[in-house]
């Protein structure tokens, strides 16, 4: 089996899991946050910078790589790791989420999804088989089953049919998977905001015995309490000896609440996307460095942070760079935000080890300036 999850301990205070995920490209300490490198690059970052801020695994998007430069080219380059010069683990999504987001530009059938490229309008399709084949060509350590992420809100009947289809598609992905020895295929639990469908989906997928399970279809517009409720309905149905990945979640509060509910892996474009707009995650909460009040503020973005940006540059300089459209400003804010989340997860692991993650969460929220379950972003 390509990946192996090792459970080190469970936090006595919360039930959160401290673990290690062994993959062909190295070990990941969990719970972990995965920076997103959509087009075979975490925007603005070098692999060395990602390593120096502590990233152990990154995510890349199958939909985007399928369109450009194409999975065959990446395969010819020796796989995604070699193509982008990243020798640590990579997780690829299945492309499902992206093609469904195209809304009017796609059509779903039992076979798969037909859609038009957002780049040039070409008519294309992805099926459970082809999405798996594309990810086999990319050579990620972890690939995801092709699923449908139903919109929110959606009718119960639609979500039920969609979730059942996702289960049928998951089985087709397993059959199509050509590299189980060095790539681990994770199933994705769907079920919308319906407890019974979440349970049904989890039961369906675990019966197929995937090496890991993702929880999809959350963080799609629902409230944080509802997301946490759905997590609580899903996680207990997943086996404890396999990793659990909550897709598309990256706000600090949700990383803490997700860890507490037994999640091991997270990814989100949030830290990198808001960084490019000059918005920072700091130990004092959200900060918009573009604001005029930082014009001649020569302190670091976050006085408690030890990242490259905070060690060497002032708010005034970074504000200047961003106002002047200088690329280096985006590098610095991106480094800071990724460092913030990656280091937050290191603190989470330490707190689990010491059976005090609940206390850590409470203290973090107080300092970060947010109540429980309230979004800071």
Contacting residues toward a copy of itself, per CB under 8 A: 39-41, 43-46, 64, 68-69, 73, 76-78, 83-85, 295-296, 298, 312-314, 316-317, 319-321, 323-324, 326-331
Q: How far is the CB of 307 from a copy of itself (least distance, A)?
A: 13
Residue 376 annotated as lining a ligand binding site: no
Residue among 116 and 320 whose Cβ is closer to a copy of itself: 320
The tokens for 301 are 């973005």
The answer to whether the Cα torsion of 200, 177, 172, 207 is positive or negative is: negative
Q: How far is the CB of 92 from a copy of itself (least distance, A)?
A: 16
Residue 217 annotated as lining a ligand binding site: yes
Residue among 158 and 298 whose Cβ is closer to a copy of itself: 298
In the sheet that 26-30 helps form, which strands lie side by side, from edge to edge?
A: 4-10, 17-23, 26-30
Residue among 73 and 203 whose Cβ is closer to a copy of itself: 73
State the catalytic residue, choosing from 141, 204, 253, 267.
Answer: 267
Q: Is 264 a catalytic residue?
A: no
Residue 336 annotated as lining a ligand binding site: yes
Q: Is 139 left (phi over 0), alpha (psi -120 to 50) or beta?
A: left
| DSSP secondary structure of 286-331 | EEETTSGGGTT--S-S-TT--SHHHHH--HHHHHHHHHTT-HHHHH
Name the phi and psi angles at 349, rounded to 5.
Answer: -65, -40
Q: How far is the CB of 339 from a copy of itself (least distance, A)?
A: 15
Q: Is 87 a catalytic residue?
A: no
Cα 341 to Cα 125, 246, 256, 332, distances in angstroms: 35, 15, 11, 15
Residue among 317 and 364 whose Cβ is closer to a copy of itself: 317
Helix (H) or strand (E) holding 21: strand 17-23
Q: How far is the CB of 55 from a copy of itself (least distance, A)?
A: 15
3-state secondary structure of 59: strand
Residue ranges of the binding site for substrate: 93-97, 147, 190, 217
**Residues labelled as active-site residues:** 93, 267
């Amino acid at each position: 089996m390509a990946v192996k999850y090792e459970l080190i301990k469970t936090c006595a205070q919360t039930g959160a899991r401290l673990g290690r995920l062994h993959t062909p490209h190295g070990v990941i300490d969990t719970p972990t946050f995965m920076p997103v490198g959509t087009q075979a690059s975490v925007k603005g970052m070098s692999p060395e910078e990602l390593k120096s801020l502590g990233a152990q695994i990154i995510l890349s998007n199958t939909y985007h790589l399928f369109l450009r430069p194409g999975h065959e080219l990446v395969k010819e380059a020796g796989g995604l790791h070699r193509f982008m010069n990243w020798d640590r683990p990579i997780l690829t999504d299945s492309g499902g989420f992206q093609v469904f987001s195209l809304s009017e530009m796609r059509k779903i059938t039992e076979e798969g999804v037909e859609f038009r490229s957002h780049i040039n309008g070409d008519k294309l399709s992805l099926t459970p088989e082809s999405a798996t084949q594309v990810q086999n060509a990319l050579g990620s350590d972890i690939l995801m089953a092709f699923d449908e992420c139903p919109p929110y809100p959606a009718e119960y009947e639609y979500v039920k049919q969609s979730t059942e289809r996702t289960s049928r598609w998951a089985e087709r992905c397993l059959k199509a998977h050509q590299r189980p020895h060095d790539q681990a295929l994770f199933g994705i639990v769907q079920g919308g905001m319906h407890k019974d469908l979440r349970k049904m989906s989890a039961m369906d997928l675990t019966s197929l015995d995937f090496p890991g399970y993702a929880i999809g279809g959350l963080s799609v517009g629902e409230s944080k309490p509802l997301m946490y409720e759905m997590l609580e309905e899903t996680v207990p149905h997943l086996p404890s000896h396999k990793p659990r990945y909550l897709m598309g979640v990256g706000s600090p509060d949700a990383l803490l609440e997700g860890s507490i509910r037994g999640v091991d892996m997270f990814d989100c474009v949030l830290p990198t996307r808001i960084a490019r707009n000059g918005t920072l995650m700091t130990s004092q909460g959200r900060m918009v460095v573009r604001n005029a009040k930082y014009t001649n503020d020569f302190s670091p973005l976050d006085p408690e942070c030890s990242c490259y940006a905070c060690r060497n540059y002032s708010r005034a300089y970074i504000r200047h760079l961003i106002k002047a459209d200088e690329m280096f400003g985006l590098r610095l804010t991106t480094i800071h935000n990724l460092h913030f989340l990656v280091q937050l997860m290191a603190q989470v692991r330490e707190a689990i080890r010491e059976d005090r993650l609940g206390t850590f969460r409470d203290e973090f929220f107080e300092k970060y300036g947010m109540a429980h379950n309230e979004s800071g972003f």
